[in-house]
Structure 1
Amino acid sequence: MLVQPPYTKDTAVLAAEMHSEVQCGLSSEEADKLLQQHGQNTIQSEKQRSLLSMLLQQFASPMVLLLLFAAGLSFFFKEWLDGTAILAVVVINALISFYMELQANRSMNALKHMVSLSAKVIRDSSLQEVPSENVVPGDVLYVEAGDMILADARIFSSTQLEVDESALTGESLPVTKDEAVLAGEVPLAERVNMLFKGTFVTKGNAYALVTGTGMGTELGKIASLVQQAEQAATPLEKKLEQLSKKLIWITVGLVIVIFFAGLAQGAEWVKVLEVSIALAVAAIPEGLPIVATLALAQGMLRMAKHKVIVKRLAAVETLGGTNVICTDKTGTLTQNIISVNTILIPSGKTEVIYSPDGTVAVPKEVQNSVNYQKIVDAAILCNTANLEVKNNVLREVGDPLEVGLLKFSTTEGKDVHQVREKFPKTREEAFTSETKIMATLHENRSTSIVFAKGAVEELLQKCTRILLEGDPQDFSDSQKAAWIAQTELLASEGLRLLAFAYKETPSLQESLTQGLVFTGVLGLLDPPRLEVSAALEECKSAGIKVIMITGDHPATARNIALKLGLIGDNELPIMHGKDMKDFADLTNQDKKRWLETVVFARVTPKQKIDLITLLQENKYIVGMTGDGVNDAPAIKKADIGIAMGLRGTQVAQEVSDMVLKDDSFTSIVVAIKQGRIIFENIKKFVAYLLSCNLSELFVVAFSSVLNLHFALVPLQILFINLVTDVLPALALGVTEGNNLIMKDKPRNPDTPIIDNQQWKAIFTYAAVITFCVLGAVFASHYLYHQTELWNPQLCNNILFFTLVFSQLWHVFNMSSAQVAFFKSEVVKNKYVWYALAVCIVLVSTVYFTQPLRDVLSIYTMSIMDWVISLGFSFLSLLIIQVLKRTGVVL
């Protein structure tokens, strides 16, 4: 425990107190011991509900309380069997709902573990990436622009470091940081030599000594004082609530009719009340939100297998309605395997040839040139990436472009660590989106040298001389223009260009990016992903527009877009960021052009937000991909924010709704497809539940209103509801979908789960089932038995079993009518068959077990009665299939 605040101590003293070293960091063994001592670096902000409270919550439904009231009335009037059976059904329903909610929670916890962030720390004298929860006090943390800060830490080395602390202090502007010792009691917002967990780096980089983790951080202290807020209902939960309200009105109307019809027929009011309440509970699927949650969670885990982590359940709904994807180019549409392809120096252009063993072939005259040697030195020294071999596995740490430069340098026989030890870095001006240049100062004995790399246009402006035949010479504007023309040609071939420069300087205080000596340009190639073209075609057929937004050169962007088939030769020209007006100044013509353009290049973070705003104003549902801190505002603004998992900054991942573990555009399309499937599955089991429950209501309503000689008893209603609702509905929730799902246009997210057309279908389904169930009873009486006297017990049993099997076969009616019946997604769903098998076993057990038959008032039936019952149950399936395939209903 640190008595004196760390911001008041020199870092050397602080490191000694914490048994750490700022240069070497902790050893792996020391880190493991400290992890055991301090615990994981996590914020315990959520209080998990106990299993008991979760179980009791299942009895909080108003309808369940009504059923308990009915059971109480049964006990009061000494109807022990009815009361016990109703109570048993309530308990079974509660246990099933409890189990489903428990499974959903476990699924969500599994998802949380998948989205673990990583931190860059120095351990065992090398820069490593470790899971954020394993960071311990005494670790040396390295952060750079775009990184989420994952622990409290004392800065001891920084370069142009600025940090956004608005989440912690409310300070709207980024705070400039340094390593100077502070004295006295300093407010949190003014501790400029400290980094705090939960904030993020907007500029520069730094090394810092971790002083607090988990609940010991400033963020943890605040979290411990704040009670967990009530979680707002998701859009899906709200839609389910609206659906339940509609169903309640329908149910209440029918129950009132049944209640007064029973009284008019002279039935005991207690029995009528019991039937009415039991029927109401059977009609309202009180476990629907939990079933939906479980379906979403299982679907999200299925997405995780496709390298897609969906962080919020509600995002699944929006995924199904996404109709525009704004995507980055690098690593998403391309392979993100950056390799040097072309060397352009004053003596000429040379293409690099890679042999199968990974070595490169560069002509000797190029290798021996001073320009080339300076470029290779700059590629190693003006670079924050690292390559390390651990357990014979090469680990790449840092930006992929910088990693590509290091790999190229090592194939040239350079030892990265040896070069860096020879020329240690003493100062750095980090790359920013404004400057587009990175420069570093290095010292070797009495020599001080600056190396710089960056975008061609920007770096050329900083160069006053050019290296020709080993000597720096004046660099005229006409020469610079000629270089820009050459690089334009290379960019049009799809190359990513990086210019290099250097200067030897006697002064350590002057700007690192002024008066540079230009050495040449490297062309790096990031080829298109082979699978993206097919994914783009799938998007087109699904009514999804794909827009490329990149900071790359327009010519490079156009070349990649052409190769992928994103645009054709006759498409509108690429829109350059410099040609995009401020949003407030846009004319209708400008807006029209923005909406029609497919490729945007050299855009700023604000322009990305402006484009998304315009799309949203025109009723588009926008998905936005990004990887950097500059993408974070646009990711947050989009309806679905999509962050890169491999190269994405922690800030981008934090504000996103989805994380792509493989950074592939194809994974976005897979996610949208899965989102559509999940939502369709929810619609399927909602329609199934509603039509089954309505059929029960209709059967009882007709029997009561028409004063028929037969009716279902309350226990039979509850048994039907329990057997035919739960397992088939769950099986529908995990259906894999059909190949036509991406042929439909995107769904409007404002539409309810069940629209008017689907309500019509649900009522039609219920009516057909009711017709066939009642038809079976009349067929048995008039065609087979042909007696004048009705047999109420036999009629009741035929009614019961026909309704059970009609509802079981009804699950096959939830498949798409556009696919052949035996090839449909529901018929091919093995879990549907498992559910039906279990249900049939349960029904058979009841029929062949005398005590259970007595409880449910079941009697043996003749083979012919069974043929009639099963025949009419299949007839309901046949009629509904004909209605679906002739277009009468969905």
Structure 2
Amino acid sequence: MTKTFQEVSPQQLAQTLQTDIEKGLSSAEAESRNQRLGRNELSREKPESLWAILLRQINSLIVWILATASVVSFLMGDTVEGFAVLAVIVINAATGFILEYNARESMEALRKLDTTPARVQRDGLIMEIHSENVTEGDILVLEAGDLVPADANIVQSNQLEVDESALTGESLPSAKRVEPSAADAPLGDQHNRLFKGTAVTSGNAKAIVTGIGQATELGKIATMVHQAKRTATPLEAKLDSLAKVLIWITIGLAMLFLVVGLLRGEQTKQLIETAVALAIAAIPEGMSVVATVALAYGMLRLAEKKVIVKRLSAVETLGGTNVIFTDKTGTLTQNKIEVQQLHFPAGDLLVTLRPGKNGREEMELAGEDLNLSSSKEFELLARVGALANNAQLNSGEPDSKQIGDPVEIALLRFAEGAGIDLHAFSSKYIRKAEQAFSSDTRIMGTLHESEGTYYVSVKGAVEEVCELCHWESDSKRQEDLAISELMAAQGLRTLAFAYRESGQIPAEDFTREEKLAYLGLIGFLDPPLTEVTPALQACSNAGIKVIMVTGDHPATSLNIARQVELVGPDEQLVLTGKDLQAFDFSSETDRDKILRCQVFARVNPAQKLDMIDFYQKRGDIVGMTGDGVNDAPALKKSDIGIAMGLRGTAVAAEAADMILKDDSFSSIVKAIGQGRVIFENIRKFIVFLLSCNMSEIFVVTFAGFLGVGNPLLPLQILFINIITDVFPALALGVGKENNKLMHSPPRDPKKPVLEMKDWRRIVYYALVITVCVLGVFWYGTSQLGLNQMEGNTVTFYTLSLAQLLHVFNLYSSKGSFFYNEITRNKFIWQAQGLCILILLSTYFIPLLKQVLSLHTLDIQSFILVLIGAILPLLLSQSARMISSYL
């Protein structure tokens, strides 16, 4: 077929698909097509094997260097040291494996949409089958409440409306008809098409199946979810880069040390032992564990704030986000239709409904003429809206599921807010007849009787209702038509209302028997969420650009963007999916227009992916919020996908990295703040770990070059890295929040975790500690007469205590030494106490003392250890104080 499905007639389509509109397929033909075309189900992404996950944990250069060090230790007879290094490898691999195994994603949520039954017409009979057995050419029989099992073209329709919000982002149900749509119509405007996974809200229809399984629009989205590969998060990428730097430092120092040692004629065994010590000293074995704990602690904090994190690194990623794409429906708006504006011939009123007493809603009105609220026209408008209505309102239960068309539910709420008791009202006005809405008449009329008086109530499209009414002049009618167009341009869905009263039973065509009295217009809108505006302002203060990307109408989208103050009140720029199709992303003009625009409407899932990719290629870290099936690919493609937990679909939740349990955009701002705090904490503990590790490298290297022996053994270095380094680093990683971080722009995503100023600090701290520790080693062995093993013991305790005290150097520049975020952190003091107890146990427990090759010290040696441990802190603080005065 050369034409698209939406532009062909039912007869042409039936001929092309070789099916009978009246009888459907034969059972034999349906079975044949099932065999040939496959089942009507979405393909399942094959999950990554457990072996592949495990292999990834150990397939890194750091692990291979540690493994090499372990093998060398075994070959040289250092069994305890070899097993200790292996234990570090196993612990790190097990931690990563468990986290990744729990985070594996599947397409099960999409498959759940396939398990519904379907009614089809086969062999001239209507039968119910599993939706998986629906095939191309089947005639679907659909009624209100049904899920559409496959993509199809409508061949018969009776007041059919379909909720497509999960697929297109439209707040309102889409009215469907048989007539073909334009060839280039987007999904939301293909009025003769039905799509798999959408829900019939009212009416009934027959439709020819045109696509099943992966060939459906839902299937195409599933394919995009498969193909939208996640790259490493910014934190993961930066830690990997940092690890590579450490590896090259390790290799360079080890090679230099070996070459110099060989040239000096030193023993090969001693040189290899020192190289192993260097390898262990250079690699901060606890860094990945500390990063995991810091992220997990942030995750727990966010859980208390109704934010569920599926991937730990996603917390930090959100902290670095500088662009957020947000859906409109259900994210910036309440995803429910409300009466927004009333237009009477005498004036306008703005309507706001708020929860009142006993579950009933109370109405607040605004306008130039509030006397209209007590006029007969106001009461008649509310009454007609409640009579020309087939919905049911569960009064007293505002959060319960309401039954009927969302617009009609909004009219009942408006009537209730206007003071009408709906229960007594339905008893007073007895319905006698109804003229249902159709695509031909575009009106709905009802006839009610009360105490011998007959009431005709009509609502519908403005042009059609105006044709049925009496007017003083044609200019008055044209004036109201112009007002309705203005309301539509503001993003409101507009209906006109009219009525007539009679003492006699009207004729069968009661809406056209006599001219009606025109009442006015009602504009409906999916209202914005009240907390969105301050949240958007907080994003602006934090230097984060927020962009609305929706499948809804351009005018509606721009109106909502203005109301929540995403854009200014005079903003006119809104781009549609059609505009993006015509854009050349290599053109500077088109690129500038995209960058200036903050509202994109009628955008399909593929275009959302293109937009995210466009910003990611610029170097931005992109967050994406959404709740519908149509958002799933973009949620997965983005650096950080955020799904709505209350109104969101299971598909969106599966594709996302984070889920908002309260659907509040303000929760995203809290998560961003927490992410920034976590990154700052990570940066601090990396500075701490690397300055400690570099001091170990310098101690071993300088001692080797100076020929004064080996002041530290490999197992002693490993013990310091795992115990006395890790616990203070953990305490730094769970530091308290810093609200000032949300009043500055996000960090440059192109910058590494550590900038040049951080590396200068690391080298300075390491040199100060190294000089003091080597000074202690030299003084103890040359002046106090300590032997090599006793010198190792003094060096071990001096370096351990110096590194413990070093944590107090890492407070921010605005703090004081005695009162800052470090001294206020209770975990720091707990870590200090725990590490001191562990160090005492290594001295007083014989087994630990033997394993670490430690010896008993006299009082002079202990005094020397204390002086050597405190001196680096004093020197660092003195230098800091001097630099603050310069």
Q: TM-score, normalised by structure 2?
A: 0.66
Q: Which residue of 1 aligns with 2:677?
A: 677
Cα distance in structure 2, aligned partners of 1:153 and 1:578: 28
- Are positions 1:86 and 2:81 aligned together? yes
Of 465, 469, 472 in structure 1, the residue corresponding to residue 467 of structure 2 is 465
- Are positions 1:775 and 2:775 aligned together? yes
Q: Which residue of 2 aligns with 1:667?
A: 667
- Are positions 1:806 and 2:808 aligned together? no
Indicate how the Cα distance of structure 1 residues 546 and 359 shifts in structure 2: closer, same or farther if over 3 A, else same: closer
Cα distance in structure 2, aligned partners of 1:580 and 1:54: 39
Shift of 1:8: 11
- Are positions 1:852 and 2:820 aligned together? no
Indicate how the Cα distance of structure 1 residues 625 and 85 shifts in structure 2: closer, same or farther if over 3 A, else same: closer
Identity of aligned residues (%): 36
Cα distance in structure 2, aligned partners of 1:421 and 1:112: 51
- Are positions 1:273 and 2:268 aligned together? no
Indicate how the Cα distance of structure 1 residues 726 and 741 shifts in structure 2: closer, same or farther if over 3 A, else same: same
Indicate how the Cα distance of structure 1 residues 767 and 272 shifts in structure 2: closer, same or farther if over 3 A, else same: same
Shift of 1:697: 0.9
CA deviations 1:814-871 (Å, max 9, x no partner) are: 4432344555444444444444333332222111111221221212333453343234
Is contact 1:239-1:752 (8 Å) kept?
A: yes
- Are positions 1:372 and 2:367 aligned together? no
Give the letter aligned to residue 542 of structure 2.
Answer: A
Give the letter aligned to residue 94 of structure 1.
Answer: I
Is contact 2:535-2:666 (8 Å) kept?
A: yes
Of 418, 421, 428 in structure 2, the residue corresponding to residue 413 of structure 1 is 421
Cα distance in structure 1, aligned partners of 2:385 and 2:83: 79
Q: Which residue of 1 aligns with 2:495?
A: 499
Is contact 1:321-1:621 (8 Å) kept?
A: yes
Cα distance in structure 1, aligned partners of 2:480 and 2:744: 51
Is contact 1:331-1:664 (8 Å) kept?
A: no
Cα distance in structure 2, aligned partners of 1:422 and 1:87: 91
Is contact 2:282-2:694 (8 Å) kept?
A: yes
Indicate how the Cα distance of structure 1 residues 249 and 629 shifts in structure 2: closer, same or farther if over 3 A, else same: closer
Cα distance in structure 2, aligned partners of 1:810 and 1:693: 12
Q: Any gaps of 5 or more consecutive residues in structure 2?
A: 1-17, 26-40, 118-129, 134-139, 169-173, 179-191, 208-212, 364-371, 449-453, 501-505, 510-514
Q: Once structures 1 and 2 are overlaid, which stretch shifts more, 691-700 or 347-356?
A: 347-356
Cα distance in structure 2, aligned partners of 1:163 and 1:524: 18
CA deviations 1:440-463 (Å, max 9, x no partner) are: 868999x9x99766xxxxx53555
Cα distance in structure 2, aligned partners of 1:811 and 1:267: 37
Cα distance in structure 2, aligned partners of 1:59 and 1:588: 45
Cα distance in structure 2, aligned partners of 1:837 and 1:71: 31
Of 581, 591, 605 in structure 1, the residue corresponding to residue 603 of structure 2 is 605
Q: Once structures 1 and 2 are overlaid, which stretch shifts more, 688-697 or 266-275?
A: 266-275
**What is the correspondence of 1:463-612 to structure 2 with a 5 Å cutoff?**
463-465=465-467, 467=469, 476=474, 478-482=476-480, 484=482, 498-501=494-497, 519-522=519-522, 535-545=535-545, 551-552=555-556, 558=562, 561=565, 573-575=570-572, 577=574, 582=579, 584=583, 604-605=602-603
Cα distance in structure 2, aligned partners of 1:314 and 1:245: 19
For the residue of structure 1 that corresponds to 2:467, the secondary structure is strand
Cα distance in structure 1, aligned partners of 2:337 and 2:446: 29
Q: Which residue of 1 aligns with 2:705?
A: 705
Q: Which residue of 1 aligns with 2:256?
A: 257
CA deviations 1:766-797 (Å, max 9, x no partner) are: 22221232233345568xxx45x454333222
Indicate how the Cα distance of structure 1 residues 54 and 878 shifts in structure 2: closer, same or farther if over 3 A, else same: farther
Indicate how the Cα distance of structure 1 residues 701 and 560 shifts in structure 2: closer, same or farther if over 3 A, else same: closer
For the residue of structure 1 that corresponds to 2:400, the secondary structure is strand
Shift of 1:46: 5.8
**What is the correspondence of 1:107-118 to structure 2 with a 5 Å cutoff?**
108=103
Q: Which residue of 1 aligns with 2:8?
A: none
Cα distance in structure 2, aligned partners of 1:89 and 1:808: 22
Q: TM-score, normalised by structure 1?
A: 0.66
Q: Any gaps of 5 or more consecutive residues in structure 1?
A: 1-6, 15-40, 124-134, 168-173, 179-191, 210-214, 431-437, 454-458, 509-514
- Are positions 1:104 and 2:81 aligned together? no
Cα distance in structure 2, aligned partners of 1:708 and 1:691: 23
Q: Once structures 1 and 2 are overlaid, which stretch shifts more, 807-816 or 617-626?
A: 617-626
Cα distance in structure 2, aligned partners of 1:194 and 1:329: 23
For the residue of structure 1 that corresponds to 2:236, the secondary structure is helix
Indicate how the Cα distance of structure 1 residues 356 and 223 shifts in structure 2: closer, same or farther if over 3 A, else same: closer
Indicate how the Cα distance of structure 1 residues 452 and 232 shifts in structure 2: closer, same or farther if over 3 A, else same: same
- Are positions 1:818 and 2:820 aligned together? no
**What is the correspondence of 1:425-464 to structure 2 with a 5 Å cutoff?**
459-461=461-463, 463-464=465-466
CA deviations 1:364-418 (Å, max 9, x no partner) are: 754895543222245x43x6x975989x973468998776544334553225999
Of 375, 397, 400 in structure 2, the residue corresponding to residue 394 of structure 1 is 400
Give the letter aligned to residue 711 of structure 2.
Answer: A
Cα distance in structure 2, aligned partners of 1:543 and 1:833: 35
**CA RMSD after TM alignment:** 6.5
Cα distance in structure 1, aligned partners of 2:434 and 2:314: 47
Cα distance in structure 1, aligned partners of 2:766 and 2:403: 61
Give the letter aligned to residue 832 of structure 2.
Answer: L
Q: Which residue of 2 aligns with 1:3?
A: none
Cα distance in structure 1, aligned partners of 2:761 and 2:141: 60
Cα distance in structure 1, aligned partners of 2:666 and 2:310: 19
Q: Once structures 1 and 2 are overlaid, which stretch shifts more, 652-661 or 837-846?
A: 652-661
Q: Which residue of 2 aligns with 1:182?
A: none
Q: Which residue of 2 aligns with 1:456?
A: none
CA deviations 1:452-476 (Å, max 9, x no partner) are: 66xxxxx535554365xxxx55984
Cα distance in structure 2, aligned partners of 1:205 and 1:636: 36
Q: Which residue of 1 aligns with 2:33?
A: none
**What is the correspondence of 1:178-197 to structure 2 with a 5 Å cutoff?**
none
Give the letter aligned to residue 250 of structure 2.
Answer: T
Shift of 1:480: 4.1
Q: Which residue of 2 aligns with 1:247?
A: 246
Q: Which residue of 1 aligns with 2:124?
A: none
Shift of 1:267: 5.1
Cα distance in structure 2, aligned partners of 1:166 and 1:336: 14
Indicate how the Cα distance of structure 1 residues 709 and 539 shifts in structure 2: closer, same or farther if over 3 A, else same: same
Is contact 1:812-1:827 (8 Å) kept?
A: yes
Cα distance in structure 2, aligned partners of 1:408 and 1:572: 27
Q: Which residue of 2 aligns with 1:748?
A: 748
Indicate how the Cα distance of structure 1 residues 868 and 657 shifts in structure 2: closer, same or farther if over 3 A, else same: same
Is contact 2:142-2:205 (8 Å) kept?
A: yes
Cα distance in structure 2, aligned partners of 1:205 and 1:321: 48
